[in-house]
Structure 1
Amino acid sequence: MKNIDFFLFCLIFLGWCKISSAQNIPRGEIDIENFVEDLFGMQREEMDYEDLYEGLLQTLLNPINLNKTNPEELKSIFILTPDQINQFFEYRRKFGELISIYELQAIPEFDLETIYRLLPFVVVEEKNQNNVSLWKRIGEAKDSYFLFRHRRVWETRRGFTPPDTLSNGNLSSRYLGDPNSLYGRFRIQQSKDFSLGFTIDKDPGEQFIWDPSTNRYGFNFLSYHFTLYNKGKWKAITVGDFQMQFGQGLVFGAGFSAGKGAETITTVRRSSFGIRPYTAALEFGFFRGAAGTYQAGPVQITLLASDVPRDANLQVQVDTIENASAIITSLQSSGLHRTPTEISYKNRAREKNIGGNIHYQSRNKNLQVGFNGLYTQFSQPFLRNQRVYNQFEFSGQENHIQSIYFSYNFQNYFFFGESARSASGGTGSILGLMSSLHPKLSFSLLWRDYSRNFHTFYGNAFGEGSRPINERGTYLGLNFKPNIRYNLSFYYDRFQFPWLRFRVYAPSYGEEWFGRFTYRPKRNTLLFIQARHELKTRNVSEYPGFQSSYLLDQGFRNNYIVNLDQKLDRRWSIRSRVSASTFRFDGKRTKGFAISQDLNADFERWRVSSRIALFDTDDFDNRQFLYERNVLWLFSIPALHGQGMRYYLLTQYKLNRRLTFWLRWAQTLYTDREIIGSGLQQINGSTLTETNFQLRYQFNR
């Protein structure tokens, strides 16, 4: 036993030396740019990136304790393969709890690249402060801060100009507020112990006004929460705003859930992490009320009650005996309240939810089985304006949905699935498998079927569409990594839509494949080549010259990327990228490309990031998505189309241990237009300039 202990100590020491000599990465820091590149092979505008990034942030702020974790937690960060997770728990079974985080290098199948990606999300120590009062722990928490952000577009949009006089003598609509965007966040938390805070937000064009009659109280949006963890048998208790994730996301699907991207294996599965505080500035997609999770042996029971206001368009409906009643014709999810019309939507309806979850985990943690249930009631009946494609969407005042799910780990095979049924009788089902067929080869397979009348308001399941409805599909993913230098990832997804969709007035089908080859000749250099092909159907009548609304054609889109990351020395790094695309539809072929060059520097207190990009696309279908660095915890993926140039400069300065400043300037210069945007967002000119200023003050530092 002493020989084993001595050998283990040597491995830890050598691993620590090797990692330290390569690069010192403090816990909590992450190369978010590369991480996003791995999770998303191709950005999609309909994806909710702010909420997704917020989920990633919550994982970073609540690191996983490797000595207390389980397979479900390790799967939730989309980094480790099934074989690596099994090797980790086999190692811990043999040698006991980890002494240092660098001991990971002694685990089979854990290479340096995997460990570097894992470091920001995990810790090995856990301070026991049960004998310290809650208020003292709150007062002394090191993870406590206040953050303030200002954003603005400096060109004048049409919505901020004086109104015009219409032919009927009325004035045209304009924004009532100023063009400044203000955001604040206060947070005090201690991982696995407690979390409390609030978020405030004012969007451009909104008034900073105290007007209870229109539900406006200074900042346009306020979110708040107070959550306790691990208090006896209570695993979590929360009041305020929160989200929930159980099963595969058919009923409760909030939080950090990636889709199809360069990480082709681990992202197909959702993890049951339970209750999570809601801290984003999006004004929809969360519960407001109270929830709690109670541990009863191998069973966890979670209950929730929520009553949250919703922005809605209300209209008066008169029945056959001339009784008038209000109905909801649409729910607004933009969260914008800039004009009198948008203000009239604010908090016009209420949504009540009662639900819960029962979750069983076997003693060896290989089997999980659970049940979800959620009942939703609106304050008025929901009767949307009928369109040819939305006949099976939700209508009425009440909905209930139930599901059962499972997850089973057998050697290197992870099986998972969920099946749900809504009040309409519509069903949704997912069945999947992840496996390490070989230490160098991983495999994933997922089948899903969401009927056209399946109604889930908080679902976020895997799929081609932005919601789990009216879709069937099969996904196959592969990842081959012969050694630390080379990696090949590939997926193929075949899907069909049994009923009509927006801009697709007939049942349709599609397919998508993606491949990325990554070459890392040394630690400081990364090269990848990426290709993506997508086939989808859409209405031809969207284009001029056609009369029929039901004439369809297949659209073929191809995207290509070549990317080189190079760390020149301890301070300087560069990124060079060329992306291109083609789109073929209705006998026409268009194309586009973008070339970008980044230069980044790290001078400890000072950090500087910059980019210059040239783009030229024939149309909007060839828009080029380029992830950009931004101020801390802000996401930016502009869609570049037309002709022009975009550049930005981001600086970060750490004044002292408590106070840090960020300033970002970005500008897009178009060479093919003199008007940018349309409607009230229209800018008369060829440039679009945006600034972001942010400060963060950390208490107890």
Structure 2
Amino acid sequence: MRPGEASANHRMLGDPRTAEGTSCPTDTRLQIKAIIVPEQVRFRLFQRQGLFRHVRPGNGTGNGGLAHRRAPVREKFAHLCPNFSKVHPAQGAGRVNHPGFPGLLLDRNRADVHIRRRSVLLAQTGEGSEKPHGRCPVFLEVGDMRRPGLLFFMVLAVFLCRPLLCQDSLDVESFLQALENETVGETDLLLVVENLRRHPIALNQATLADLLEIPFLDIATARAILDFRKRHGRFRALSELDSVPGLPAELADLLRPLFTLRPPGTGAVLEYRVRTARRLHLPAGFEPQTVPSPLDVYQRLFWQPRPDWQIRLLWQKDAGETNWFDYGSLSFRYRPEGKPLEVLAGDFHLRWGQQLVFGSAYGTPLAVEQLTTLWPGTTRLIPNAASQESFFLRGLAGEIRPTPNIRLGALASWRRLDARLEPDSLTVRSFDVSGLHRTALEQKRKGNTREQITALWLRWTRSRWDAGVLAAGQQFNRPVLQSTDTLTGRQQFLSAFFQHRGPFFGSALELALRNGRFPAVQQTLNLNLGPLRYWLNAYYYHPRYGSFHGRALDEIQKSPGNRKGSVLGASLNLPGRVKLALLVHRERAVRPADQFARNQTRLQLLGQWRPPALLLNLRYTYRKRTEGEPSGAGQVQQIHRLRLDLAERASARFALRQRVEVSWAHPRVPGEAEVGFSAFSELSWRPARRWRLQWRWTQFQVPAFPLALYEYEPDLPGSFRVALLNGRGYKWFALLSGRVSPTVQVHLKFRQEVFPDLEEQGRQGKRRREIRLQVDLRY
């Protein structure tokens, strides 16, 4: 058995290679490099992923890099476990001062080890043959040591020994916190991450294409992981990701839940999801018994008959639509293992460069909590997985690799779009991306404009480099009016990009041209100095540049055009699990006379503290915006927001989260109160291992729309909600999730909003209620 390997007898609940069990996070631990004690020791360490084996006597250079010698003292154990009541009680405990122990560090050849310093409990047990408790994620044996009392400095941690905040999924909420639009829906980002959680990537067998399935992982970092595996052999623990050169610890923490050490499955996978929702209140403008087909219905089927074949089918209708198959999407994906080929048919996306011409379904929202989104992802083809009825491509696409470093790709897309036409019914005034077809007017817009796209691209990848060129043609059957520029029915795009990501420095650039004259350029720089990291992004979008399938920076769906700006991001990780971060975004209209021009300055400051069992966030946001007048002399709004988040896991079954947020304007909004306010408390309770109940209560009082607050709200798996808080009222929701059987999961959510002053504003009803149900079948 080699360093980093644990025998089957010492596997714990919560080990990703075993059955489901406790889920203690890996992101709230301290980095350990060497054990420093007055006398060198012989020890054994078993962690959740099995980091170390027993260190035998020797010179200490091969088995974990720790020298040792034998001493007459024995029967000394230290247990690292969140539930200290399960640990053997201490016997003959002595007192020792904390300053007497210079540090708890462990040096090893392969990787740094992560343990939680405040979770150590010292105990004297029996002989070394005893095994750790089944629920203890870390087990440390200290034997043959002359001064064992010196290790007892951690006994005080018994009173602090509680389960940590579990991060067993990517914190997608940080990506969506920046949304300032009232919306309910799903994004491919949520669905991709959810699929990776259910089917983690086999880290020891993963290819480059497998790693690039992760949305926020670029090709240079993926290659660094593969090079590390090739140089050092198979990963024995997910904690070894921390030793990959150029992989920041923050990104490693996000990646760990998406990987597994188990070999990949070869059997067929079949998943079916059905979701339905109904509003229990009467929408404004309708009379009783006149709401047609009030149910939202969503169905999705995923079938993987073989590892190289994937088929996705979904169909969906919104409330008020009489056609139960109003929208449907189908995609086939063929990617044979070991062959340089990938083919997609049906609905898909092409993520290219920095998304100036073709972008993903979820764009690039900016939030100080997740500055990693500033770095562009990897160019790749993505099957469409969301029920958004716009922005995807429909047709055929493929990529082939004639050499290991060269990739050739092509696509052809034909589809119909919903559009609002000018009175002459010949020119497209704007595209309707809502996907709603309830009224006669909305049904008349459905599919009234045809779009055809063809594209060819060439990519060169090597080590930490990625570069490519693309040529694309787009044609509509009608002229399209975009901003103040009338586009002809046909337009061409040229794009070139390159990316380089080194251990300390990264650079990315994309230059795009529309019709050979109107440019868009975006440059990103990244500097990694250990605990201190910088991001700098600068962009320029010509007023007459526009790409329907492109994504502007800091947007989910809007295409680039008539903007120039810069973004500066910085984060600093301090000892004690403290993080400081800064985000500055300045944006101006290139042509202020444009009726859609917008000038804004945004500043965000973040202070974060993550001690064991606690998460404390303090975020300040300042936004100055000028908009609303074609001349550019519109109303100036200076909005300040201050948010305090506190999350704590009181036990293995209970977790509590609270938030307080205030907003104020400068200058003051005439005739209105000075401050907007919102606060919520959320309780998560697991009555049993397979069931979880979430309950949240929110109280808010926002006197004017400029002070409106936005709250991200957990929803059924695969979907999300960003609620607009404006006016005076309260809201609450309850979300119950459970596993009925190994193949069936059920999720039920009820939410209610109450606005006491709503009728005074001339709107119907004080209460808005909704119930949502989702069933997942997996075989």
Deviation at 1:424, TM superposition (A): 6.8
Superposition pairs for residues 360-379 of structure 1, below 5 Å?
Answer: 360-362=460-462, 365-379=463-477
Q: Determine the structure 2 residue equivalent to 1:166.
A: none
1:7 is matched with 64
Call closer, same or farther: CA 1:446–1:244 in 2, change over 3 Å.
Answer: same
- Does the CA contact (< 8 Å) of 2:315 and 2:326 recur in 1? yes
Q: 2-side partners of 1:239 and 1:556: how far apart?
A: 48
In the alignment, the residues of structure 1 paired with residue 349 and residue 604 of structure 2 have an alpha-carbon distance, to the nearest angstrom, of: 32
Q: How many residues are treated as equivalent by the alignment?
A: 632
Measure how far apart 1:63 and its partner are. 4.5
TM norm structure 1? 0.82
Alpha-carbon distance change, 116 to 420 in structure 1, aligned in 2, over 3 angstroms: closer
Structure 1 pair 669–76 and aligned structure 2 pair: CA distance change class (3 A):
same
Distance in 1 separating the partners of 2:653 and 2:776:
23
Q: Say yes or no: does 1:473 pair with 2:565.
A: yes
Paired residues for 1:451-470 under 5 Å: 451-463=542-554, 466-470=558-562
Alpha-carbon distance in 2 for matches of 1:238, 1:308: 16
> Do the aligned residues in 2 keep the contact of 1:614 with 1:645 (CA within 8 Å)?
yes
Q: Cα gap change, 1:332/1:74 in structure 2, threshold over 3 Å: closer, same or farther? A: closer
Structure 2: distance between partners of 1:145 and 1:464: 31
Alignment deviations for residues 278-332 of structure 1 (CA, whole Å, 9 cap, x no partner): 0111111111111111011111111101111111234674xxxxxxx84433321
Does 2:563 match 1:563?
no
2: CA distance, partners of 1:188 / 1:25: 34
What do you get for the CA RMSD once the two structures are aligned? 3.6
User: Does the residue aligned with 2:610 lie in a helix, a strand or coil?
Assistant: strand
> Structure 2 residue aligned with 1:308, among 407, 411, 415?
415
What's the counterpart of residue 513 of structure 1?
A: 603
State how 1:20-99 maps to structure 2 within 5 Å.
20-21=137-138, 30-31=168-169, 35-40=171-176, 42-45=178-181, 50-51=186-187, 52-57=189-194, 60=197, 63-67=200-204, 68=206, 77-78=215-216, 91-92=228-229, 94-99=231-236
* 1:595 partnered with 2:595: no
Over 3 Å counting, the alpha-carbon distance change for 1:425 and 1:495 in structure 2 is same
Distance 1:587 1:203, change over 3 A: closer
Given that 1:371 and 1:402 are in contact with CA atoms closer than 8 Å, whether structure 2 keeps it comes out as yes
Matches within 5 A, 1:188-337: 188-189=303-304, 193-208=308-323, 218-230=324-336, 233-263=339-369, 265-297=371-403, 298-314=405-421, 317=424, 326-337=426-437
- Alignment partners' CA distance in 2, 1:418 and 1:361: 16
Task: Tell me the TM-score normalised to structure 2 length.
Answer: 0.74
Map Cα deviations across residues 234-292 of structure 1 (whole Å, 9 max, x no partner): 43211111011121111111144432102454211222241111011111111111111
1:320 is matched with none
Change (3 A) 1:113 1:265: closer
CA contact under 8 A between 2:211 and 2:222: conserved in structure 1? no
Taking the aligned partners of 1:462 and 1:527, their CA distance within structure 2 comes to 28
Q: Is the 8 A contact 2:193 2:214 kept in 1?
A: no
Letter in 1 for 2:675: K
1:411 CA displacement: 3.9
Q: Which AA in structure 1 matches 2:280?
A: W
Aligned match of 1:651: 736
Structure 1 unaligned regions, length at least 5:
130-139, 164-173, 209-217, 318-324, 385-389, 541-547
Residue ranges of structure 2 left out of the alignment (5+ in a row):
4-59, 67-105, 117-135, 139-161
**Structure 1 residues 257 and 380: alpha-carbon distance in aligned structure 2, compared to 1, 3 A threshold:** closer
1:642 paired to 2:642? no
Deviation of 1:50 (Å): 2.5
Name the residue aligned to 1:353.
453
* Rounded Cα–Cα distance in structure 2 between residues aligned with 1:141 and 1:71: 20
Structure 1 residues 71 and 269: alpha-carbon distance in aligned structure 2, compared to 1, 3 A threshold: farther
- Secondary structure of the residue aligned to 2:240 is helix
Residues 369-396 of structure 1 show CA distances to partners (whole Å, capped at 9, x for unaligned) of 1012221111233347xxxxx213x522
Residues 16 and 102, structure 1, Cα contact 8 Å, conserved in 2: yes
Shift of 1:582: 1.2
Asked if structure 2 preserves the Cα contact closer than 8 Å seen for 1:72 and 1:272, the reply is: no
Partner Cα distance (2:330, 2:543) in 1? 35
Note closer, same or farther for the CA distance 1:553–1:314 as it changes in structure 2 (3 Å cut).
closer
Q: Which residue of 2 aligns with 1:431?
A: 523
Q: Tell me the secondary structure at the aligned position of residue 283 of structure 1.
A: coil
- The Cα of 1:121 is off from its aligned counterpart by 2.0
* 3-state SS of 1:631 partner: coil
For residues 59-108 of structure 1, give each alpha carbon's deviation from its aligned partner in whole angstroms, at most 9, with x where no partner exists. Answer: 556745544455995796548999x9898567545413323324335668
Question: Following the alignment from structure 1 to structure 2, what is the Cα–Cα distance between the partners of residues 30 and 607?
Answer: 15
Q: Judge conservation of contact 1:403–1:421 (CA < 8 Å) in 2.
A: yes
- Which amino acid in the other structure matches residue 277 of structure 2? R
Question: Do structure 1's residue 613 and structure 2's residue 698 form an aligned pair?
Answer: yes
Partner of 2:277: 151
Partner Cα separation in structure 1 for residue 600 and residue 503 of structure 2: 35
Q: Secondary structure at the match of 2:757?
A: coil
| Structure 2 equivalent of residue 170 of structure 1 | none
1:599-638 CA-to-partner distances (Å, cap 9, x unmatched) read 0012212110000110000112222212212111110111
Q: Which amino acid aligns with 1:563?
A: D
Secondary structure class of the residue paired with 1:626: strand
Read off the aligned partner of 1:516 and give its amino acid letter.
Answer: L
Q: Distance in 1 between matches of 2:593 and 2:164?
A: 50
- Aligned amino acid, residue 542 of structure 2: S
My pick for the range that moved more, 100-109 or 666-675, is 100-109
Q: Which residue of 2 aligns with 1:539?
A: 628
Aligned partner of 1:182 among 282, 294, 297: 297
Identity fraction in percent: 22
